[in-house]
Amino acid sequence: MRSFFLALQFLTVIPVRVHGDVTAVHIARSVGMYPLVGAVQGAIIALAAFPLVYAFPDDMAAALLLLLLTATNAGFHLDGLSDTLDGMAVKSSGDREADIGRRLAVMKKGPAGPMGAAGITMALLLQYLGIHAIIGGFAGNIQHLVVALLIMPILAKWSMAAAIAGAKSARPDGLGKLVIEHAGRRELFTALGIAVAFTVVGAIAAPKSLSPWMLLLPAVMYVLAAGFRRCCNARFGGMTGDMFGALNELAQTGYLLLAGAWLRHAV
């Protein structure tokens, strides 16, 4: 439970206190609990969906649910997405080491650049549209709506854990380096077990036509995490904490895009 509360404290603004000394090993072990933190976030927005979808039109309910989800971590991951995209936008000069240094330096700057601002805007827009599609697609069936909303942050957090377990640090210091160095297979398989368990339960409660596809989602998120990690290795020489936050936003957006596509073509 200590690992869970550490992860909850790090990834959200939910007020929890972890007493005693916290070491690098404790922080690394909390990576395995990331999907459980996602379950807490998913439960919050799923429970909020009950009154919101009945009190407001679908578009307003979708906006309020996205606002609530973003508020649970105070836009922490959106900031990581912005910084990462600004760094990626730095053009190559032919000198790999110099380019990596410039990209990492850009990421440390405060204000969001053009790519960062565009990335936040597009991520929020696509997530809003995805949640709106889910609300409309499962109109009248609150059980399916709850399942769809609950699973989303769980799988997003699983993608973060999957990327951390095989990453190398782009910086010589920082929290990202600390987590990367001490998280390994134990944390990877713990996170996978939690993500798969929730996905299986969700698949049982989901529409029969969706259930087989849901079971593939942990693997899809793993592939996304591996691809993003490879991209970061190429552009930055490794990963940082901001990049894990960016991956969370990309995973949530990808999940909602898949949900929207399924709802459009489902018979």
Q: What is the pTM of this model?
A: 0.94
Greater model confidence, 17 or 9: 9
Q: Examine the pLDDT at 125 and tell me if it is beyond 80.
A: yes
Model pLDDT, residue 27? 82
Residue 157 near residue 248, CB atoms below 8 Å: yes
Residue 246 near residue 81, CB atoms below 8 Å: yes
How far is 76 from 83, CA to CA, in rounded Å? Answer: 11
Residue 26 near residue 2, CB atoms below 8 Å: yes
- Average predicted confidence (pLDDT) for the chain: 91
Tokens of 42: 């998913």
Element holding 72 (H helix, E strand): none
Q: What's the one-letter identity of residue 133?
A: A
Query: For the chain, how many structural domains are there in total?
Result: 1
State which residues form the domain around 125. 2-265
Q: Examine the pLDDT at 110 and tell me if it is beyond 80.
A: no
**Tens digits of residue pLDDT in 57-102:** 999 999 999 999 999 998 889 999 999 999 999 999 888 999 999 9
Residue 179 near residue 25, CB atoms below 8 Å: no
